[in-house]
A and B are shown apart, each in its own frame.
Chain A
């Protein structure tokens, strides 16, 4: 019998509309969350921003006792730790991606790839506790004294490696961050390298190029947009990373010329001080830091996504 019961059909239509509305609402919710984050941070930061004005981002002072707050030290720490992390993680991640796509014996490709991805799944607090109890003492005893002795007196860069070896500080935080973002960068770059058509590579080999020459002259130019996207995705992580940094940064609101000195970052200041902040201006200043971090990371991540998307379109085209 192929007769459709009209009541049944009407009911189905109602279900259809309800289901569609539910999925649409859920999709809109994602936009609402981002909008809500922006609005609530801006509202929370308002008292501090109107009180200090633009000077909030240009002043180094951070004194809860006198109610004077400036974000410069935190911005400086965030930028410097991320730069150290990227300087170490980008070449290493590039090497890992290169190894996985071009050199690795096929049997090992998957296990090593999975191991790198598992490193990405380890929560940041584990990197923090490891950095504090294992890495920092190691650096304090063996690496930093060497750096101070050999580089401390070199003109130009010497100032970066002056002072006592604290163990914790900007340099250690950068190193922990490097280990944290390494798997993201390596995994993205590997995926990007995999999109290069084998034909192009084989043409390079056919002309007698070495493996490195094929990589540098064929693979890298072909996947440039994706590489930059992957690096910026890693940078977005490094800028916003909280727990791993909070353990090893030392939480000192000052800008030291030495990389070995304690410092602070935007996220670790918030994590360390937010629950203990007394007074509206103090809390508002911390939220203003959060707003700054939101703007910085949003820009970086959005740019990264935009680039990766451009690559994707080119591949499917």
Chain B
């Protein structure tokens, strides 16, 4: 075999393997989505959204878990995203190039990929132990800690994209930096910041590990933030591992709801970003 043929065969083989790798990845995504739809769709009914999680062996829904998840996600975003937004503003506007911002940026990136179960343990030590009981508030706080790095990162990136000329014009009119930030930069970076929020919601709404030791679970409808509260991820965890068929079906339905919401959120975030880019491209 000539050296030329050998090189060609080697090239062909390795490139085919890379195609195979891509197909494997796509097949995995397809298989997971297919299983979710096949198993979850059967249990989908209006009942799911109105009935409480049942005791073993009887039919029920996920109303309390959906409510709990919604409450804790919203609270988590309400607490976490302003902190991320302000910290991102500091990095982009006030602390550029300072040692503190370098440190904050680094630590933030570490927090972004730190295991969420550790955040759960932290909030357990910080709040649950002191108060002596599990609570929805502790759950929301652990979700907030997970939301901070996501919003911080996108806020900083998006503020950095705002053209310097806009900032300069505002300063030339005599505006203080805070006024420039609030009245010029935030509106200019609005869609980017919204994308960050959507990504943060997508990130925290499927988190299970930190809720296990903070919000725990609750079989009943509870609106008390100072008590354990049902939530979708923990319900899925407990029901899926149970031996009861009804519970397992509910777990599948819950899994389908969570995945679909998160995929819709992520796709909308991407669409907004894509629209932003074409807008920018057209403007130039």
- Residues of A near any B CB (own CB < 8 A): 4, 12-13, 15-16, 18-20, 22-31, 33-34, 36-37, 40-41, 43-44, 91-96, 98-100, 103-104, 112, 114-119, 121-130, 132-134, 179, 182-183, 186, 210-213, 233, 236-237, 239-243, 246-247, 267, 270-271, 274-275, 287, 290, 293-294, 297-298, 301-302, 305, 309
Contacts and interface: CB of A to CB of B under 8 A. Distances in A.
Interface centre among A15, A116, A210 (most CB of B within 10 A): A210
A106 B65 CA distance: 43
A292 B193 CA distance: 35
Contact of B255 (A16, A100, A126): A126
A299 B36 CA distance: 36
A119 B30 CA distance: 9
Given A124-B208, A212-B15, A40 B122 contact: yes
Given A123-B258, A298-B110, 18 more contacts: A25-B86, A30-B149, A33-B111, A33-B148, A104-B22, A118-B29, A133-B35, A133-B39, A242-B115, A242-B208, A242-B209, A274-B121, A274-B124, A290-B117, A290-B121, A293-B118, A305-B106, A305-B109
Contacts of A24: 90, 94-95
A123 B263 contact: no
Interface of B: 7-8, 10-11, 14-15, 17-22, 24-26, 28-29, 31-32, 35-36, 39, 82-87, 89-91, 93-95, 100-101, 103-104, 106-111, 113-119, 121-122, 124-126, 145, 148-149, 152, 174, 176-179, 181-182, 202, 205-209, 212-213, 216, 233, 236-237, 240-241, 248, 251-252, 255, 258-259, 262-263, 266-267, 270
Contact of A16 (B91, B117, B178): B178
Contacts of B113: 233, 236-237, 301
A239 B83 CA distance: 28
B263 to A, nearest CB: 6
A298 B114 contact: yes
A131 B37 CA distance: 15
A270 B115 CA distance: 12
Given A43-B125, A134-B35, A123 B11 contact: no
Interface of B is mostly: helix
A212 B10 contact: yes
A126 B121 contact: no
Contacts of B108: 30
A93 B176 CA distance: 48
The 5 A-B pairs with the shortest beta carbon distances in the complex, nearest first, are A123-B206, A240-B115, A95-B21, A26-B86, A19-B178
Contact of B262 (A43, A112, A122, A240): A122
Contacts of A112: 22, 26
